[in-house]
Structure 1
């Protein structure tokens, strides 16, 4: 997205095409026992610009693990951004960065990717950045920008160019990642209470078309229960199938409960639109995109378990 109004020349769409910029898709991973584990990244729906990440091993979550973001950049013919007909002074340095914003965690920052000088060599840059656990929440926006990193000494014909440190000359692209709500499909929390069962479900809402999925639906695993050893991923007794059964049972309850709502037919419609992150949007995604069969409780239970067996 380009700035519409500026007091100095900005990089235009045509200039971007002539620069020849090749950028890979974002990839994500986390470290576990000194091993790098890659996460799956996919759109929350075919017509959405928002992506979500998931772990095929069922280990990663934002509260307990770090998150690495990776991307490759290749630049050619970038010397055209310098000089009188460009946007920066001939001897200045243009920086490449990714600006990230996490509204839910009330944090934002800048990832320095690299820098561009007035040369003709092909520029290849690999970006890798680690976020601390729980640093990001909810919807996170990543914007790749070019900016004036080091101002130059403008020539007589370059007085009109951007030459202030930090001045953004173009936004190249944006990427939206959802880490909570429908992005983190199954909110799971731990408690420690020897008087409670191994797991239980929180499932309360006022209007599922607007109420947030992650706030109204959550599974609680009880580390104080005698059988918690079968759900503890750090123990050899860990039983992945038991965790699948718990999640499948919980989701079957939620969707079956939602069937009693008067607007159920609209929830299962592929054309339905609901509030971002809402319960209705999440269930619509499960049914229309993931293909869960909600026509009968027994078919719903079967299709959810089938999903977990294939995806986890």
Structure 2
């Protein structure tokens, strides 16, 4: 059986629709359907059943996916062993990270690795945590940087392993001359009458902040739906808005704003995720170690 087709079936089992599996694998839905159909011909039995717009695995499909998981893990282990035998840390390593951790830690990690291993090409992708885990599961990337606001770290842990990277504390971001800027701390309730700038372009962080306000009894009055943190910071610095930001954003100076701790403390854990069969892969190993070292050094 072709390993690519097995990987496609595994991704279809995870995504539950042809369209979602196709998007994850960078294929067309037709190509996914054709690969599964070919796999069914090879197995000489049905592997999926269509249910409305989605699909479910037949008992045979479930068993084949379980075997595929073991096969793919063995292939990861083989890849790692061959890389060790080559005795050189080289090639391409693909890493997905959300923007705040990429700015605070991952960029410096890549710089250090470029200096130490000139033949290692680390490619960084800007992805939200859930997208990163999907990309890790479909072998599009080698390491995912995720947080526990967007994903539940215990989900699918049979497929990947986690290394804690840092704990991130949330802060209220205010114009430097705002009436609340001199406070030692603020609650969400203190902000109910403010105008908000939020990253609203599919950001799990922006969604988390909106839900946090709603749990405190109000919907944030958003006057800036921003495509990234740069616009959020500009709207706050200009006096138009307030926001809540990751402590990772405070590693570098932000002109015109001040950050006040949010109480009660709201923390998120940040983790490095990798496929279990690749912990001994030399390139994966040096990236994980360097990222942890850099986070300790930069974030204290």
Shared fold per TM-score greater than 0.5:
no
Structure with greater contact order relative to length (CA < 8 Å, sep ≥ 6): 2
Greater Rg by CA: 1
Q: TM-score, normalised by structure 2?
A: 0.22
Q: TM-score, normalised by structure 1?
A: 0.22
By percentage of residues, which structure has more strand? 1
